[in-house]
Amino acid sequence: MPYHSVVCVKQVPDTANITAEAMKDDGTVNRAALPAIFNPEDLHALEAALDVRERFGGTVTALTMGPPKAADVLRECLFRGADRAILLTDRRAAASDTLATSYILAQAIKTIAKKFGEVDFVFCGRQAIDGDTAQVGPQCAEKLGIPQITYMEELIRLNGRTVVVRRNVGNGWEIVETTLPALITVIDTANRPRPSAARKVMLFKRARVRDEVLGDVKRLLPDASEEDRRAEAERRMADLQQRGLLLDQWNLDDIGAEIDRCGLSGSPTKVYRIQSIVLTKSGYKEIAPTEEGVRNLIHELIVDHTLG
Ligand SMILES: Cc1cc2nc3c(=O)[nH]c(=O)nc-3n(C[C@H](O)[C@H](O)[C@H](O)COP(=O)(O)OP(=O)(O)OC[C@H]3O[C@@H](n4cnc5c(N)ncnc54)[C@H](O)[C@@H]3O)c2cc1C
């Protein structure tokens, strides 16, 4: 039985390479100063979806919300085997917190179902390395009104409309069964993401979304009139479309989103203060792995108000 999987992938700043320029004065992240990468756990979500397609048949649609530059992660999905890739980009979606992000993604997934056929699985990474909340997948499932299984480590069985999954709950495992459609968040021990296929890299490296084409034309024809630029962009897009290389680009209107549920107006999270913690102590103290050692440690932590 073929299954249609949607994989939510996010382009994130590489938080492993933080420099002094990483934060702006107002405490927000200076994304331009950090290299942008594929959110690591989303590669495992993609692999889970590709694995379902390989074992049972079907299609894999990659979805990201972000600026036009986020099309990089969509191309990466195509290099690794996704069948279709969609960019959701809209200035009105900027500054979305998890509530707004999950609403927008849920609307996009409903639109995917309408345009390309019912969705059986939504795969997400467990969490993104920039926001780190792990809320988007579960909130998205709530908004779609479908069951969710978080922390998937193994898809044990898929039989018709029933899926059985092993989830890692930290100090043990749970075997969970649910019916499809379902949303599953995937952890990094679930699988080994396959590398890009050279043939697909050659095929899809020129794939573009509309805004990238407009940007390319503006850069290449800086002195051309608006009309000439538009004509050149249309010509390029028609050419890409014909070769199957024009990626879908949607805005909030395309997915029927209520604008006041998106972006800043749809985001109740307010960051009041950001504190930079610098650890200055160079030494360390060894605690004996005994009842008494732990008791002494807790006593010290209470005395210096770290605990309590
Ligand atoms: C330092 C920092 C702190 C933040 N704190 C908060 C906070 O406390 N509360 C809050 O509501 N928001 C917060 N945000 C905003 C948060 O980054 C955004 O809401 C973000 O778009 C989604 O949350 P997340 O990164 O935590 O995703 P997670 O919930 O960790 O992501 C889980 C999965 O959802 C999918 N996903 C997430 N975003 C996208 C996307 N744009 N496109 C496609 N798939 C996606 C991916 O599969 C991802 O692996 C914070 C951001 C930063 C940089």
* pLDDT above 90 coverage of the chain, percent: 80
Atom of ligand 1 nearest to the CA of 135: 29
pLDDT-derived band of residue 29, with 50, 70 and 90 as boundaries? low
Q: Residue 133 Cα, ligand 1 centroid: separation in angstroms?
A: 6
pLDDT at 289: 85
Residue 33 has pLDDT above 90, yes or no: no
Q: Is the CB of 101 under 6 A from ligand 1?
A: yes
Q: Which helix (H) or strand (E) holds 238?
A: helix 226-242
pLDDT at 249: 98
Alpha-carbon span 41 to 88, nearest angstrom? 20
Q: How much is the average pLDDT of 34-41? A: 94
Alpha-carbon span 105 to 120, nearest angstrom? 16
**Stretch among 65-69, 189-193, 198-202, 297-301 having the lowest mean pLDDT:** 297-301
Q: Is the CB of 65 under 6 A from ligand 1?
A: yes
pLDDT-derived band of residue 1, with 50, 70 and 90 as boundaries? confident
pLDDT at 304: 83
Q: Residue 131 Cα, ligand 1 centroid: separation in angstroms?
A: 4
Alpha-carbon span 281 to 266, nearest angstrom? 42
Atom of ligand 1 nearest to the CA of 45: 47
Give residue-wise pLDDT tens across range 244-261: 999 999 999 999 999 999
Cβ contacts of 240 within 8 Å, gap of 6 or more = 206, 207, 208, 213, 246
Q: How much is the average pLDDT of 151-159? A: 98
Q: Is the CB of 189 under 6 A from ligand 1?
A: no
Q: Residue 214 Cα, ligand 1 centroid: separation in angstroms?
A: 28
Residue 20 has pLDDT above 70, yes or no: no
Q: Residue 9 Cα, ligand 1 centroid: separation in angstroms?
A: 11
Q: Is the CB of 42 under 6 A from ligand 1?
A: yes
pLDDT at 27: 60
**Stretch among 145-149, 201-205, 282-286 having the lowest mean pLDDT:** 282-286
Atom of ligand 1 nearest to the CA of 99: 11
Q: Is the CB of 255 under 6 A from ligand 1?
A: no
pLDDT at 284: 78
Q: How much is the average pLDDT of 145-154? A: 98
Residue with the smallest CA separation from ligand 1 atom 47 is: 124
- From residue 269, alpha-carbon distances to 41, 95, 147, 305 in Å are 24, 10, 25, 28
pLDDT at 288: 86
Is residue 10 helix, strand or coil?
Answer: coil
Strand 148-159: give its sheet, edge to edge. 173-179, 162-168, 148-159, 182-186, 121-125, 3-8, 58-65, 84-88, 248-250
Q: Is the CB of 254 under 6 A from ligand 1?
A: no
pLDDT-derived band of residue 19, with 50, 70 and 90 as boundaries? low
Q: How much is the average pLDDT of 185-209? A: 97
Residue 22 has pLDDT above 80, yes or no: no
Angle (CA) 81 83 89, round 5°? 105
Which residue did the predictor score with more confidence, 168 or 25? 168
Give residue-wise pLDDT tens across range 113-134: 999 999 999 999 999 998 889 9
Residue type, 297: L
Alpha-carbon span 308 to 305, nearest angstrom? 6
Domains of the chain: 3-209+247-266 (3.40.50.620), 211-244 (no CATH)
Residues in the chain: 308
Residue (of 68, 67, 77, 70) closest to 44 by Cα position = 77
> Would you say the pTM of this structure is higher than 0.95?
no
